[in-house]
Amino acid sequence: MSEASRVVIVTGMSGAGKSTALHALEDLRFYCIDNLPTPLLAESLATCERAGLARVALGVDVRTAEFLERAGHQVRDLVAGRQDDVTVLFLDAADDALLRRFGETRRPHPLSPFSPRGASRALLDGIALERERLSSVRAQASLVIDTTGTSAQELRRRVVAAIAPEGEAHHMVTRVLSFGFKYGVPVDADLVFDVRFLKNPYFEPELRPLSGLDPRVASFVLAQPEAQQLLDKLGDLLVFAVPRYEREGKAYLTIAIGCTGGRHRSVALATEIGRALVERAGVPVGVSHRDVDRSAARESGREAP
């Protein structure tokens, strides 16, 4: 692999959060392979190297007892051969937490034996067996995270903080989207704001054929005192809320601004809100306008937007 390559081996107790950790690594642009038997570690990394993949995360599969027996030796050999770029992340949790999680999902533990003493006893037997056989892998871990009292969002934050390359932070993808209510509320909208209470440029003959992207329409909308009050209040709300959405592990946030037809008021305000978020919160923001071009009939005066 290249000089800047990174390899993360994600392993640990079943039910401790391996899938959540791998999803977090995907957000950091790691190529993730899950449920990989340990004998295939070296071969898989060689294949990724030939493909030019600089960041690779491998979720080690422990479901087959024969693989698990040799896991410690195979992980140790791999780490010894690639000391500079391999991180072994081991996820652990208390037995009662693992027991509760398997009970909630109603999935069997991969190492649970049949037990005449009952399902819960069989599950505890499987957890104990897995913990014993993973002890050699845990001893080699570069990073151990105990997820006993940890939410999925908190685990994601801890993985990103620990693994993200120096100087690189993962940012939530934030989008401000204008739309027309007459065409329906965007299905992917997280926050929806209705600006139809503002004076409509459509009823100004010289502005009707234009959109909110035109400076004349934008000036008409933004010059209204109510528009400025809305921007002030909405700006305060978003500057407060957006970083907290990111802190909770949200990967995408869509802020939808709607007017009747999605051509004038919502377009001008979405553009201004996107600009304000960049300036006030330092948040990378994309601005798009879903319905700005869906108005040929309205421009002829047959239908008000």
Domains of the chain plus CATH, in order, are 6-163 (3.40.50.300), 173-299 (no CATH)
Angle, alpha carbons 140-146-147 (nearest 5°): 135
For residue 114, what is the DSSP state? Answer: P
Residue 75: is its pLDDT beyond 60?
yes
The two most distant CA atoms of the chain are separated, in Å, by 83
Residue 66 pLDDT > 60, yes or no?
no
When pLDDT is cut at 50, 70 and 90, the band that residue 84 belongs to is low
pLDDT at 237 over 70: yes
The band of 158, judged by pLDDT with boundaries at 50, 70 and 90, is confident
| Structure-derived torsion over alpha carbons of residues 257, 262, 264, 270, reported in degrees to the nearest 10 | 30
pTM tops 0.75: no
Length of the chain: 305
Percentage of the chain modeled with pLDDT above 90: 34
Rounded Cα distance, 207 and 198, in Å: 15
Coil vs helix vs strand at 289: strand
